[in-house]
C-alpha cells in the first residue's frame, strides 16, 4: 500500500519499524510475499545501542546554578534513561553518518567512531521524575554513529539493511531484479532517521564495487546492478521540492487511497460480512462446550431484529 503513494506499481518496499525490518518486492501491484526478507535490526536495536553508549560515554549534569561548561558532571543514572527519553533523543539529535568505516578495522570500534566523526557535542535538557531539570551531555560521535548498528550484524541470522535488499533480489528471477532495485522505497518510523537513505545507498555501492570474499561469492550475480540503484523518494533528486509524504505515514496514506479507490483486491464488504461469518461472541468461549455450535452461525434479518428489540428492552 505504501508503494501506491508514489504512483508506481513495481518496487522494493523497505519497512524499517521498531521490532524488525522487512523487504517486500512488489511487481505490477502484486506483493510477492514468498520472496520477503526480514532482519531484527530496526528501531529497537537502535534504542538498545543508544542506551548502551549513553550509559558508558555520555555525562549527566545535575541541577546547578553554574554554567553548563563549569557544572559538575557524573555518569548517567540508569533510571534516567526511560524509554520515552530515549525515543526523544533518537528523534531530535541522532542522524546517520554518510562516512563508511572499513569492515576490517580496529578492534576498538569506539575509537574509530570518535576518529571518523564530525558532529558536535550536544547539551540535551531533561526533566527528572521529581520534576527538577537536568542536562545530558551527548558526545557528537554518539549522535552520528549510533545508527551503525543498522549496518552491522551477521549476514545470515541478523543481516543488515543492505544485505536484506540483496537477499531479496537473489530470490527473484534475473529479469525482475533491475525493475525492483531501481525503485526502492523506505517506509517506517526508523526510516525517517536523517541520512539513512543516503548511507544505505553508499553501503549497497560499497558491496557491489568492493565486496568482501564472502559477499563476492554470495552476491556475485548482482554486482552488475550497481548503476541501476535508485531510491524513489530521494531528496537529492527532488530539485528542492522536498518530500511529499513522510516515511512513517506512507502505509496509512496508501491504505486510505486503496480504500477510496474502487480497486480489485481481497476485500470483504459490510454487506457480505454481516450475517455470513461465525459469531465468536457466542461461540465456543461464550457457552458450554456441550451446546456449542459446530457450524458457522448465519444471522438472519429476523434474528437481528429480535436481538435489537431485546437489547433495547
Q: Which of 168, 206, 201 is nearest to 26 (CA)?
A: 168
Q: Which of 180, 184, 175 is nearest to 6 (CA)?
A: 184
Helix (H) or strand (E) run with residue 75 in it = strand 74-75
pTM for this structure? Answer: 0.78
Q: What percent of the chain has pLDDT over 90?
A: 53
- pLDDT of res. 52: 96
Distance CA 142, CA 146 (A): 5
Whether 46 contacts 130, CB under 8 Å: no
Pairing of β 184-187 and β 11-16 = parallel
Q: Which of residues 297 and 267 earns the better pLDDT score?
A: 267
Query: Which of 123-132, 249-258, 303-312 has the least mean pLDDT?
Result: 303-312
Q: Which of 188, 186, 107, 113 is nearest to 146 (CA)?
A: 113
- pLDDT of res. 111: 83
- Which stretches within the chain are classed as H helix? 43-57, 83-92, 109-115, 140-145, 161-171, 174-181, 196-209, 213-219, 250-260, 270-273, 301-312
Q: Which of 249, 176, 189 is nearest to 1 (CA)?
A: 249
| Reported confidence tier of residue 149, pLDDT bands at 50, 70, 90 | very high
What's the sign of the alpha-carbon dihedral 187, 193, 199, 203? Answer: negative
Q: Which of residues 76 and 294 earns the better pLDDT score?
A: 76
Cα distances (angstroms) measured from residue 88 to each of 92, 95, 192, 235: 6, 13, 14, 24
> Which residues neighbour 77 within 8 Å (Cβ) at sequence distance 6 or greater?
60
129: cell is 521524575
Query: Which of 165-179, 252-266, 283-297 has the least mean pLDDT?
Result: 283-297
Whether pLDDT at 285 is above 60: no
User: Averaged over 10-16, what is the pLDDT?
Assistant: 94
Q: Which of 246, 247, 252, 255 is nearest to 16 (CA)?
A: 247
Whether pLDDT at 143 is above 80: yes
Q: Where in the chain is the domain with CATH 3.30.420.40?
A: 2-41+153-260
Mean pLDDT, the chain, rounded, equals 83
Whether pLDDT at 312 is above 80: no
Whether pLDDT at 266 is above 80: no
- pLDDT of res. 228: 93
- pLDDT of res. 254: 79
Tell me how many helices (H) and strands (E) the chain has. 11, 9
What's the sign of the alpha-carbon dihedral 247, 252, 257, 263? Answer: positive
Residue that is written with C-alpha cell 535508485 in the block: 230
| Reported confidence tier of residue 301, pLDDT bands at 50, 70, 90 | very low
User: Averaged over 183-197, what is the pLDDT?
Assistant: 93
**Long-range contacts of 126-132, Cβ-Cβ distance < 8 Å, separation of 24 or more:** 126/80, 126/85, 128/80, 129/79, 132/63
Distance CA 236, CA 17 (A): 24
- pLDDT of res. 306: 46
- pLDDT of res. 243: 62
Domain covering 2-41+153-260: architecture: 2-Layer Sandwich (3.30)
Q: Which of residues 255 and 62 earns the better pLDDT score?
A: 62
| Reported confidence tier of residue 277, pLDDT bands at 50, 70, 90 | low
User: Averaged over 18-36, what is the pLDDT?
Assistant: 93
- pLDDT of res. 280: 58
- pLDDT of res. 303: 44
> What one-character-per-residue DSSP string does 222-261 give?
GGGGGGG--BSS-GGGSTT---SS-TTTHHHHHHHHHHHT
- pLDDT of res. 7: 83
- The pLDDT tens digits for 97-135 are 988 876 655 557 788 888 888 899 999 999 988 888 999
Amino acid at each position: 500500500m505504501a508503494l501506491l503513494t508514489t504512483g508506481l506499481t513495481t518496487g522494493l518496499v523497505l519497512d524499517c519499524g521498531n521490532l524488525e525490518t522487512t523487504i517486500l518486492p512488489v511487481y505490477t501491484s502484486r506483493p510477492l510475499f514468498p520472496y520477503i526478507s526480514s532482519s531484527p535490526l530496526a528501531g529497537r536495536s537502535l534504542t538498545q545501542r543508544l542506551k548502551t553508549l549513553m550509559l558508558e560515554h555520555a555525562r549527566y549534569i545535575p541541577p546547578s546554578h553554574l554554567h553548563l561548561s563549569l557544572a559538575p558532571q557524573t555518569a548517567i543514572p540508569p533510571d534516567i534513561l526511560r524509554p520515552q527519553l530515549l525515543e526523544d533523543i533518537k528523534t531530535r539529535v541522532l542522524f546517520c553518518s554518510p562516512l563508511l568505516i572499513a569492515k576490517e578495522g580496529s578492534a576498538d570500534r569506539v575509537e574509530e567512531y570518535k576518529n571518523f566523526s564530525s558532529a558536535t557535542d550536544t547539551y540535551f535538557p531533561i526533566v527528572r521524575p521529581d520534576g527538577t531539570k537536568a542536562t545530558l551531555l551527548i558526545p557528537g560521535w554518539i549522535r552520528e554513529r549510533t545508527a551503525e548498528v543498522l549496518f552491522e550484524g551477521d549476514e545470515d541470522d541478523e543481516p543488515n539493511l543492505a544485505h536484506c535488499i540483496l537477499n531479496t533480489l537473489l530470490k527473484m528471477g534475473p529479469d525482475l531484479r533491475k525493475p525492483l532495485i531501481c525503485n526502492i522505497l523506505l517506509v517506517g518510523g526508523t526510516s525517517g532517521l536523517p541520512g539513512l537513505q543516503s548511507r544505505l545507498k553508499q553501503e549497497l555501492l560499497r558491496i557491489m564495487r568492493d565486496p568482501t570474499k564472502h559477499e563476492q561469492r554470495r552476491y556475485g550475480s548482482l554486482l552488475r546492478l550497481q548503476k541501476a540503484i535508485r531510491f524513489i523518494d530521494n531528496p537529492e533528486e527532488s530539485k528542492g521540492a522536498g518530500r511529499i509524504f513522510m516515511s512513517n505515514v506512507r502505509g496509512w496514506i496508501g491504505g486510505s487511497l486503496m480504500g477510496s479507490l474502487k480497486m480489485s483486491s481481497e476485500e470483504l464488504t459490510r454487506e457480505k460480512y454481516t450475517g455470513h461469518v461465525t459469531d465468536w461472541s457466542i461461540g465456543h468461549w461464550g457457552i458450554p462446550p456441550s451446546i456449542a455450535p459446530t457450524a458457522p452461525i448465519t444471522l438472519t434479518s429476523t434474528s437481528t431484529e429480535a436481538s435489537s428489540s431485546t437489547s433495547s428492552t
